[in-house]
């Protein structure tokens, strides 16, 4: 997904959940499970697409696996100001 492409309904839904998570909980960063993700769901991949589009950003979670250098780390995500503008521009 390139920055100029339209978001899929699934990506818009995840972006909305990411914004709502921040608004409702006051937490800046959210895990995929906090925005509806479950085992083998699309949420981590969709969040990765949103990061590549500049609509969200990510950081490594402070976990033991990440501390010992696991190649498969856990990430937290937050919506960017660009992501918020994108949601406001959609009907």
Tokens of 90: 């959609």
Task: List helix spans (H) across the chain.
Answer: 9-25, 43-52, 64-67, 81-89
* pTM given for the model: 0.78
Q: Hey, what CATH topology would domain 9-89 get? A: Arc Repressor Mutant, subunit A (1.10.10)
Rounded Cα distance, 27 and 7, in Å: 25
Inter-residue contact 21 to 27 (CB < 8 Å): yes
Predicted pLDDT of residue 25: 67
pLDDT (tens place) for every residue of the chain, 91 residues total: 444 468 999 999 999 999 998 776 666 899 888 888 887 788 888 999 999 999 999 998 776 555 566 655 688 999 999 999 999 986 5
Domain ranges in the chain are 9-89
Closest CA to 54 of 90, 5, 20: 5
């Amino acid at each position: 997904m390139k920055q100029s492409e339209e978001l899929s309904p699934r990506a818009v839904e995840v972006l909305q959940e990411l914004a709502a998570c921040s608004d409702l909980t006051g937490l800046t960063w959210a895990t995929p499970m906090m925005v509806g993700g479950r085992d083998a769901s699309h949420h981590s991949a969709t969040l990765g697409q949103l990061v590549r589009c500049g609509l969200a950003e990510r950081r490594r979670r402070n976990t033991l696996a990440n501390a010992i250098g696991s190649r498969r780390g856990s990430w937290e995500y937050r919506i960017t100001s660009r992501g918020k503008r994108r949601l406001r521009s959609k009907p």
